[in-house]
């Protein structure tokens, strides 16, 4: 079979090849692999990507221009499977290709399962609370999460060809502003204190920062706190569209418990919840729940914590 990979960073080619290796084991079939990459020749060789025939390199451009290039490669190679990373641009670019050729597509494949000769693909749905299981079929498109599937050692070294972007008509890029990068790595934190819309003002977040400081952790948040209110940086945003955490403790305060948020914290060892609404869905996901107004409970808790920990 043949596969075509779209990638922005060279490491995403490795992610997709990892997926193909897992799939190939279940299908008992090998893949001839081609890739289109937005990264430079140096980045590609630095990543040391192996296991494919050829990498086409193209400059960065609009999603429209890039999807046109990918579409030409699709027509040329007629691959059985087209893969890309789970980024927003890649999702759009693959969806455009799927639309043009009326192909099925799975956004974010999280697993490959072999079931007596039948191969199934899993995809998180409902904010990560459930998995949809699809029967593998070809041709098919899918986006592959980072670092999920590990490639086997192989030694085919790809040749490289440079392609150019098409002229654009009636659709142009006007401006690109890089986002400021935050310095907090909550994915590596052992203790995360999470804040949600139960906090009424930005200044009140000091309560959470105090707890994080005493316990030696970081503050994380729900999407509205970072993206709607801009109270905290996007580096602290936990959820399916943000970061995943997996430390010893997640202390969720004033958060309702939408799966789109809390499922990204389910690898934490202990989950503590403070919410004033006893029916808030987040209690289902808690080890220890406290039904209280955070403005009343947190000051008391902070004082006790200082006392007990001698800080």
Partner 1 sequence: MNIAVLVKASLDTNMLRVDSSGRLLIEDTPLAISEYDRNAVEEAVKIKEAHGGKVVAFSLLTWGPIARKEKDAENVLREALAMGADEAHLVSDESLLPGEVGITAQVLAKLLDEHGPFDIVLTGEASMDMLSSQLPARIAEKIGASVITYVRKIEVADGVVRATRDLEDSLETIESKTPVVISVTGEINQPRLPTLLQIRRSFAKPLNKYKLSDLGIPSIVRKLDMAEVKLVTVSRKNIVLEGDKLEDIAEKLIEKLMEEGVVKG
Ligand X SMILES: Cc1cc2nc3c(=O)[nH]c(=O)nc-3n(C[C@H](O)[C@H](O)[C@H](O)COP(=O)(O)OP(=O)(O)OC[C@H]3O[C@@H](n4cnc5c(N)ncnc54)[C@H](O)[C@@H]3O)c2cc1C
Residue 159 binds which entry of partner 1, ligand X, none, with Cβ cut-offs from 5 to 8 Å by kind?
none
100 binds partner 1 (CB under 8 A): yes
User: Is residue 77 helix, strand or coil?
Assistant: helix
305 binds partner 1 (CB under 8 A): yes
25 binds ligand X (CB under 6 A): no
Tokens representing 177 are: 């502003």
248 binds partner 1 (CB under 8 A): yes
Instruction: Mark residues 216-235: x for contact with ligand X by CB under 6 A, - for none.
Output: ------xxx-----------
Residue 91 binds which entry of ligand X, partner 1, none, with Cβ cut-offs from 5 to 8 Å by kind?
partner 1
Supply the minimum distance, in Å, between the C-beta of residue 277 and ligand X: 4
Give the CA radius of gyration of the chain: 23
Give the C-alpha separation, 271 to 287, whole Å. Answer: 5
CB 262 within 8 A of CB 288: no
Residue 134 binds which entry of ligand X, partner 1, none, with Cβ cut-offs from 5 to 8 Å by kind?
partner 1
- Which residue number, 160 or 291, has a Cβ lying nearer to ligand X? 291
- Which residue number, 35 or 255, has a Cβ lying nearer to ligand X? 255
Residues in 140-179 at the binding interface with partner 1, rule: CB under 8 A: 170-179
* 282: Cβ contacts below 8 Å, ≥ 6 apart: 252, 255, 256, 257, 262, 273, 275
Give the C-alpha separation, 230 to 280, whole Å. Answer: 24
**Torsion angle defined by CA atoms of residues 177, 181, 187 and 192, in that order, rounded to the nearest 10 degrees:** -110
Q: Is omega for the bond preceding 15 within 30 degrees of 0, making it cis?
A: no
Residues in 15-74 at the binding interface with partner 1, rule: CB under 8 A: 62-64
Piece in contact with partner 1 (CB under 8 A), picked from 34-42, 46-54, 152-160, 267-275: 267-275
* 158: Cβ contacts below 8 Å, ≥ 6 apart: 35, 49, 50, 52, 53, 54, 55
Supply the minimum distance, in Å, between the C-beta of residue 113 and partner 1: 10
Residue 294 binds which entry of ligand X, partner 1, none, with Cβ cut-offs from 5 to 8 Å by kind?
ligand X
Residue 196 binds which entry of ligand X, partner 1, none, with Cβ cut-offs from 5 to 8 Å by kind?
ligand X
Quick one: which of 158, 220, 254, 289 contacts ligand X (CB under 6 A)? 254
112 DSSP β-pair partners? 121
Give the C-alpha separation, 223 to 239, whole Å. Answer: 7
Long-range contacts of 172-176 (CB under 8 A, 24+ apart): 172/62, 173/61, 173/62
Instruction: Mark residues 118-147: x for contact with partner 1 by CB under 8 A, - for none.
Output: --x-x-xxxxxxxxxxxx-x----------
Which stretches of the chain bind ligand X, using CB under 6 A? 196-198, 222-224, 238-242, 254-256, 258, 260-261, 274-277, 280, 293-295
């Amino acid at each position: 079979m043949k596969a075509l990979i779209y990638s922005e960073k060279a490491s995403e080619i490795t992610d997709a090849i990892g997926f193909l290796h897992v799939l190939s084991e279940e299908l008992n079939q090998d893949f001839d692999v081609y890739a289109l990459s937005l990264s430079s020749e140096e980045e590609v060789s630095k990543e040391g990507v192996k296991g494919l025939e050829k990498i086409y390199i193209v400059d960065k451009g609009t999603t429209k221009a890039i999807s046109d290039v990918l579409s030409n490669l699709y027509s040329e190679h007629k691959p059985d499977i087209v893969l890309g990373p789970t980024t927003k641009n890649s999702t759009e670019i693959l969806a455009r290709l799927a639309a043009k050729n009326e192909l099925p597509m799975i956004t974010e494949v999280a697993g490959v399962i072999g079931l007596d000769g039948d191969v199934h693909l899993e995809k998180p749905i409902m904010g990560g609370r459930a998995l949809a299981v699809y029967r593998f079929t070809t041709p098919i498109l899918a986006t592959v999460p980072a670092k999920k599937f590990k490639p086997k050692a192989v030694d085919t070294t790809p040749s490289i060809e440079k392609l150019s972007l098409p002229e654009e008509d009636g659709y142009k890029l006007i401006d690109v502003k890089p986002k400021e990068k935050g310095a907090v790595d909550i994915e590596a934190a052992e203790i995360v204190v999470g804040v949600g819309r139960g906090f009424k003002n930005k200044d009140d977040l000091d309560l959470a920062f105090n707890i994080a400081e005493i316990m030696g952790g970081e503050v994380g948040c729900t999407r509205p706190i970072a993206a709607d209110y801009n109270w905290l940086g996007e580096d602290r945003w936990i959820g399916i569209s943000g970061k995943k955490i997996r430390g010893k403790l997640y202390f969720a305060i004033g958060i309702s418990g939408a799966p789109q948020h809390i499922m990204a914290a389910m690898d934490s060892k202990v989950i503590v919840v403070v919410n004033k609404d006893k029916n808030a869905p987040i209690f289902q996901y808690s080890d220890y729940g406290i039904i209280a107004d955070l403005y009343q409970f947190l000051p008391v808790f902070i004082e006790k914590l200082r006392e007990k920990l001698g800080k």
